[in-house]
A and B are shown apart, each in its own frame.
Chain A
């Protein structure tokens, strides 16, 4: 593979808009480009337009405006069955009147493969998802997890280069879901296919994806790798949506390079890193992760601002301690500390000073 091949966008959305009713835009100005072999997840709350984007890519919905390209070719006018895109549906959509093997043979039959070749490929695909023994069963005779595997095998059996999955694990219980996340990721990596995966479960998105596109209100709020997304959210929606997050509101009072000061609504001054604020006087929501809050004075910079906090609740969670504090008038401020042998266990009712490194506290849009 040459450098040019890797860089070339495999799937591209350019200025895509979609409206179902001609009144509201469900997808507003979507720009997205992903290279071959990438596992990209569309993450967002229900109704944010993820499925709509996937359906436009698959060809079941037409874009109201804009262009969608696959391997450099515009596909707006190509019917779904000629796009050669594998798809796993949320309810699996296994054909109930066909056996598992017949379901898998279906895409090969319509591609006019001969019988021997078909059987070999079906067997290989079933083995890949460890369902080799179930070829003769009807979908109704399989458990949810097994149906999921078959649906995956069916989407892969005709060797598509791009596979779309719309909340494929939504109907499974937690344990099975975690197992299948790993399984899907493993298979995708082994086959080197490009995957566009839709979910509203952020853990799923973070564990599986190369990159995650966070959707809200018909727009991509941030498109980044999981660690980037978690550690450097670009706006307060992303910060709230991904992982646990403490939010304080206030006004920027001073900006000096990579740090700034924010005066909270309670009057306290804190250190922060300006991300979405440009000038003194901007209102901001600052975001800080629970595990980055420090209450050991010795580990803070000498000139760091601190805040008074009252301990409300201490929860022992095994690997970590979760402590709830009242800070600057908010009583849902959470601190997480590792259960190390020398770790302090904060007592409810006591008052402590807390602070943080300025780069861990991001001043975002209000």
Chain B
């Protein structure tokens, strides 16, 4: 098991955004998270990637515990050095790409492996070029993010995350900031990663994509997991009223 989250609770002030969420991700699995706006999907990913601290619950990666909650309900994160180690297990692709604008495409991809993981530069360069080929961007290595389309930027962002060789990759609505005609090229890349058995959790509003690519679908609403299962079951034969409502609104 790559990721295990148990009883996650998270509030912003009085607003309870995650109410006792539990989920797990196995190696090679592609899990889609769907749900209405404000249901807590982004918050769930941000808690899983430690961008937000949880109020209660347990999170572990590869069997290594990152945060635990004791009997008194106090969540405690492991010390900094251990947490840094655990952070290496995952990557995150943002809705807004968040590439570094002052770095070229190649440097965006190479910089963290070289300066964070302290790996050999030439080896990293070869891998980065290989990733760019995979993203169909091998001729844009020297371009700067501002010179690329949104779809190209997002593919660079995916390559940047993959260059660190994470065990699991999270995507938060990777195509929501893109013009409709550009979503296809990004989804294609994610689909290709799924075929290579990359473990992924994808928050998305692209229902046909979620149905086609995932091994499991999680439907969230108002901070709880309402329904979870095989995509054909969740999309084709949902059991919960809220899921049916949500999917009906989507068909329009």
Q: Answer yes or no: are A and B bound together in one complex.
A: no
Mark B residues whose CB is within 8 Å of A.
none
